[in-house]
Amino acid sequence: MKKDIHPTYHPDAKMTCSGCDSVFPSGSTTEALSVETCSQCHPFYTGKQKIVDSTGRVDRFKKISERAAKTKESRASLASKEEKNAKRQEKKEAKESVEAVQEKQAA
């Protein structure tokens, strides 16, 4: 095996968590490492949900959810198709009767 081709191994490298700022030792080829989450702050190990918002996606999702709920509520209050069609037919008949009266007056 060739000599001096492998990086030096640091058995007590300091790992720093950016989520909870804890420092713990671990083996690595660099002396210090920074990680986003560790076992002390990861939701899987802690059982707590943590929302990581990347460029407002969570807020956007909440807005879309609210809009969908409002739309669902407003549509629930609307009449059934049969009632809507009956109203359309009444309007159409009223319009036709008005047009017929106007034709009689014009003649």
Position 49: which residue type? Q
Distance, in Å, from the CA atom of 44 to the CA atom of 20, rounded to the nearest integer, reads 15
The whole-number pLDDT of residue 101 equals: 86
| Residue 31 per-residue DSSP state | S
The whole-number pLDDT of residue 91 equals: 92
- Residues 11 and 27: beta-carbon distance below 8 Å: yes
Mean pLDDT by 10 residues, the chain (107 residues): 86 89 90 87 77 75 92 75 84 90 82
Q: Is the pTM of this model over 0.75?
A: no
